[in-house]
Amino acid sequence: MSRTDLIADAFTMIRNAIMAGKDNLDVPASGTIKAILEILKKENYIDNFKHIEDKKQGVFRVYLKYLSGESAIRNIRRVSRPGLRLYVKHDKVKPVLRGRGLAIISTSKGIMTDTQARQQKIGGEVIGYIW
């Protein structure tokens, strides 16, 4: 079965694993997913992730982070999607929840957070919001 929106599927898998109280989950591997997971790890939303080879594209095993029984990820939402892309200019990049969350933006210089995009004065496609 082919997937249309791998990022939305990965976000849904993370949401479902958090609601089920899982410690880890497997998401399909891709370059974009790897960049998003690196940002989530750097911003302390997940503990770690590692690439596991299979006979296809591979999977990333994501280890979720819990703080005193509560997930570090309160909500994760896909903003831009294949049917409706959302682009922002560098001066229109808004902080998520007054800086308590983060937006993941795909720019010409790679995938980065909203803070990095504002500092480098780069706009791009808003992939999703996490808080």
pLDDT band at 13 (very low <50, low <70, confident <90, very high): very high
How far is C-alpha 43 from the geometric centre of its chain's CA atoms? Answer: 11
If asked whether residues 27 and 62 sit together in one domain, one would say: yes
Q: How many CA atoms lie within 13 A of 112 on its CB side?
A: 17
Indicate the pTM of the whole model.
Answer: 0.92
Q: How many CA atoms lie within 13 A of 86 on its CB side?
A: 13
Q: What pLDDT was estimated at residue 63?
A: 97
Q: What pLDDT was estimated at residue 4?
A: 83
Q: Mark which of 71, 95, 119 sits at the end of a domain.
A: 71
**Looking at the domain assignment, is residue 98 inside a domain?**
yes
If asked whether residues 41 and 97 sit together in one domain, one would say: no
Q: What pLDDT was estimated at residue 59?
A: 96
d(CA 124, CA 112): 10
When pLDDT is averaged across residues 10-15 and rounded to a whole number, the result is 96
d(CA 45, CA 34): 14
Tens-digit pLDDT profile for residues 58-76: 999 999 999 998 999 999 9
